[in-house]
Amino acid sequence: MKAYNKILMIVAALSLGLLFLFPMWKIYLEAPQYPEGLELHIWVNKLAGSSESVLQNFNILNHYIGMEPIHAESFKELKVMPYVIAFFMVTGVIIALIGKRRLVLYWTSLLMVAGAVGIADFYMWLHKFGTNLNPEAPIKVPGMTYIPPLLGNKQLLNFDALSLPGLGSLGVFLAVLLAGLVYYFSRRSAASSAYTRHLNSVLV
């Protein structure tokens, strides 16, 4: 791999760091009583929101429909994910330094699989929270579930819920894109370096 490919690969690995700087997903709720809106921000390692106490306010509203309170502790994923991301960042840098094209492919594929697993997991917990309702809930609407949309918007009683990836997700997208480019660009240089190696062996 040429130097610029290595640098690009390092950038790919480091762009995952965006996950530590920005939320990876955002759920926006809007209702007549909440003209200013309520935002739940899902980070790689925590749950937060547009205001400090947003989680408490989500839970107060959710308790009327019997939804289990959402706590950061409810998600083991939030404990594991930072390590997974750190793993990808470190291995990405190491692969860049080694400069083996094949490793780039493995790394990228694994990252894509991890991303898909993440989205599936996210969908599952949305589903779990939206359907696992306390039968004694004060407000019961026959046939109603409260699964927020994975992507896009949906009306949930008086709330308009909108779900969109946050800037943190851009990190994963960039990492896959850049590593893919590294893989693609290093094809020629890999061929030429194989040729050089061959020449060298012949000469020696």
Nearer to other proteins, 66 or 115 (CB): 66
Residue closer to other proteins, measured from CB, 2 or 63: 63
- Measured CA to CA in angstroms, residue 139 lies from 30, 35, 67, 145, 159 at distances of 19, 22, 11, 12, 14
Q: Which is nearer to other proteins, 55 or 179 (CB)?
A: 55
Distance in Å, CB of 161 to other proteins, minimum: 18
Instruction: Give Cα 176 distance to the centre of its chain.
Output: 12
For the bound state, the minimum distance from the C-beta of residue 32 to other proteins, rounded and expressed in Å, comes to 12
Q: Which residue has the tokens 């030429």?
A: 192
| φ, ψ dihedrals at 25, nearest 5° | -145, 150
- Residues near other proteins, by CB under 8 A: 36, 46-48, 51-53, 55-60, 62-64, 69, 71-72, 138-139
Which two three-digit tokens encode residue 87?
């793993």
**Which residue lies nearer to other proteins by CB, 60 or 124?**
60
Tokens of 165: 């990836």
Cβ-based nearer residue to other proteins, 25 or 43? 43
> Closest approach of Cβ 48 to other proteins, in Å?
7
**Rounded to the nearest whole angstrom, what is the least distance from the CB of residue 52 to other proteins in the complex?**
7
Neighbours of 101 (CB within 10 A): 21
Closest approach of other proteins to the CB of residue 79, in Å: 15
CA angle 61–62–64, rounded 5-degree value: 80
Distance between CA atoms of 172 and 161, rounded to whole angstroms? 24
